Amino acid sequence: MNIYFRQAWRDHRLSFEPPSAKLDKIRLGFDAQKNIWIPDTFFRNEKRAQFHEVTVDNRLMRVNKQGDVWYVSK
């Protein structure tokens, strides 16, 4: 089974002052995602789990001006 796992949290350290009213959130690239704390989430009572390997990471991370993080992984 493939799932889209979405997580959201607030990290005030990532808040920023937008240069314009239209730019109130940013999408972070894969290199930037490596430097940001991500919760170590796990599924309780799992029988077996694995990450599939792909040529391109299936991850998306957005941060808004208040520091709200939206993280999606497939």
Going from N- to C-terminal start, the domains of the chain cover 5-38+55-73
pLDDT at residue 67 in the model: 94
* C-alpha separations of 57 from 23, 31, 50, 53, 65 in Å: 25, 11, 15, 8, 25
Question: 0.85 cut: is pTM over it?
Answer: no
Q: What is the pLDDT of residues 18-70, one digit of tens each?
A: 888 788 899 998 888 889 988 888 778 888 777 667 666 788 999 999 999 99
**pLDDT tier, 13 (very low <50, low <70, confident <90, very high otherwise):** very high
Confidence tier at 16 by pLDDT (50, 70, 90): very high
**Res 43: pLDDT:** 78
